[in-house]
Structures are given as structure tokens and as C-alpha cells.
């Protein structure tokens, strides 16, 4: 769930005229794209569906505006619905296209945290807006900063860090973000061995939804706790 706090940070950062790459969902995604388009900058929307399936449907006009100065991309074939399991997979494309990933607000289980993990794995920088320690929506950001993300108060903080390397190969100047396993991740880890287990069997063993356990397994891969083999088979790393 996004807030006006998120929108204000979008408006404050977009005027630096970056090439903005963002998801295409409601809330903060829409706010970032609209701010970029309104500023005359270029933006990329990455769909978790086919190119012919605009999600949410009310953003069809915005999608047309994005195409005028930017682009829309997806790895999913035409007609693919925006299923929940597509979005964690889609997030790695967003982080991979960018010099850095900024997380404005995020709870412990936010999809933005998964994108931040992807960015680290791809040797991209991670930026986070610090928040109150009592605010649940800032827990993810504060943990990112605690583990090496660059704290951001405004656009200048991002420019100062990225600008000297903007047109140079990304070499990964940021230290590896590596969280301890959460309670649910530990539960999954305890059911893993060096013999491969299929995600369906693992989900039944820990009584979790398939799409949710795939998100957790992705996070655990980025922590070097598990390794994915072919056919959605997993083992301890």
C-alpha cells in the first residue's frame, strides 16, 4: 500500500530527469510513471503480463503516454494474465535495467525488498529512504540501510553516488546485503537437504502457498542459503 509520503519522494526525485524503470501496478508504480511522464523524462514499464494485457486496466491511458517517450517490455507472451507468481520473476528485469534501485517504503515482506535483493545480486546499487523505527512500512527500508543500502533524503544523494559512474560499466561498489533467515525461511531451510526437492513437495511440507514460497526461496537464493536446480528443484547451497 502506497502513501502520500511515497508520492512526495517520487516528485522530489523525478526532476533529476533520469531514465525511470518501474513496475506497472497501482500506487507508487503509477505515481512514479506519471511524475516521469509529466516531467518530460523517459520511463520504462515492465509488465508482469503480456504486452496486450494492461494491468491495472485503468492505466491504459498512462501506458499509451509511456510509449510516446519510453517503452513497455515484458518477457511473458501475449495473452498472459497478471498472475501473482509473475511479479517476483518480473522484478529482476527492473533491477537489472537500472543503475540503482530506490526503495521508498517497504514492510518486511514487501515485493520491493525482493527487487533490492535482485539488484544486489546483479551488482547494482540499492538506495533506501529511512523511516521511523516504529513504522511498519519503514522496517524493510531500515533493514536495507542497516545492511549496506545507501540512505537517501533526496535526489542529490542519488546523483552524488551514481552520476560519476552513469555511463561506465557497473562494477558493484556496494557491499553485499545479507540478512539472517526469517522464521519462515528457517522453516523452509530445515526441510531442505542436498538431495533435490520439488517446490510443490516443499510447499506441502511447510504448508505454504506456491507463489509465496517461491518468493521466499528467491530471497534465500540471494542470501546464498539455497540453490535452484532445473525443474523447480531446490537444495541447500
We report the CATH number of the domain holding residue 126 as: 3.40.50.450
Query: What pLDDT score does 22 carry?
Result: 57
Q: What is the mean pLDDT of residues 15-27?
A: 55
Domain of residue 189 covers 183-236
What is the per-residue pLDDT for 39? 78
In residues, how long is the chain? 237
Same domain, 69 and 124: yes
User: Does residue 174 carry a pLDDT above 50?
Assistant: no
Residue 182 pLDDT exceeds 80:
yes
The Cα–Cα gap between 124 and 46 comes to: 18
Write the DSSP symbol of residue 199: H
pLDDT at 55 over 70: yes
Residue 8 has pLDDT above 60, yes or no: no
Q: What is the pLDDT of residues 123-150, one digit of tens each?
A: 888 999 999 989 998 999 998 998 888 9
Share of the chain above pLDDT 90, in %: 28
Q: To the nearest whole percent, how much of the chain has pLDDT over 70? A: 81
Structural domains counted in the chain: 2
Give residue 45's Cα distance to chain centre: 13
Q: How much is the pLDDT for 164? A: 59
Res. 180 pLDDT band, cuts 50 70 90:
confident
Residues 18 and 46 in one domain: yes
Residue 205 CA to residue 199 CA, distance in Å, equals 10
For 48, phi then psi, to 5°, come to -100, 25
17 and 53, same structural domain? yes
Degrees (nearest 5) of the Cα angle 61, 68, 104? 70
Closest to 201 in 3D by CA, of 186, 188, 219, 183: 188
How confident is residue 165, by pLDDT bands cut at 50, 70 and 90? low
Say if residue 118 is in the same domain as residue 194.
Answer: no
Amino acid at each position: 500500500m502506497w502513501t502520500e509520503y511515497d508520492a512526495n519522494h517520487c516528485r522530489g526525485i523525478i526532476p533529476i530527469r533520469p531514465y525511470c524503470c518501474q513496475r506497472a501496478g497501482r500506487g507508487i508504480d503509477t505515481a512514479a510513471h506519471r511524475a516521469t511522464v509529466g516531467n518530460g523524462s523517459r520511463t520504462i514499464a515492465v509488465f508482469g503480463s503480456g504486452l496486450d494485457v494492461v494491468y491495472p486496466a485503468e492505466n491504459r491511458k498512462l501506458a499509451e503516454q509511456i510509449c510516446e517517450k519510453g517503452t513497455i517490455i515484458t518477457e511473458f507472451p501475449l495473452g498472459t494474465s497478471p498472475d501473482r507468481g509473475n511479479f517476483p520473476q518480473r522484478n529482476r528485469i527492473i533491477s537489472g535495467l537500472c543503475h540503482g534501485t530506490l526503495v521508498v517504503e517497504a514492510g518486511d515482506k514487501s515485493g520491493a525488498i525482493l527487487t533490492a535483493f535482485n539488484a544486489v545480486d546483479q551488482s547494482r546499487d540499492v538506495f533506501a529512504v529511512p523511516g521511523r523505527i516504529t513504522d511498519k512500512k519503514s522496517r524493510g527500508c531500515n533493514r536495507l540501510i542497516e545492511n549496506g543500502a545507501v540512505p537517501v533524503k533526496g535526489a542529490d544523494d542519488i546523483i552524488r553516488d551514481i552520476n560519476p559512474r552513469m555511463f561506465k560499466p557497473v562494477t558493484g561498489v556496494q557491499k553485499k546485503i545479507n540478512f539472517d533467515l526469517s522464521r519462515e525461511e528457517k522453516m523452509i531451510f530445515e526441510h531442505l537437504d542436498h538431495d533435490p526437492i520439488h517446490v510443490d513437495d516443499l510447499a506441502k511440507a511447510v504448508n505454504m502457498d506456491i507463489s509465496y514460497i517461491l518468493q521466499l526461496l528467491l530471497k534465500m537464493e540471494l542470501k546464498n542459503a539455497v540453490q535452484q536446480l532445473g525443474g523447480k528443484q531446490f537444495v541447500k547451497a
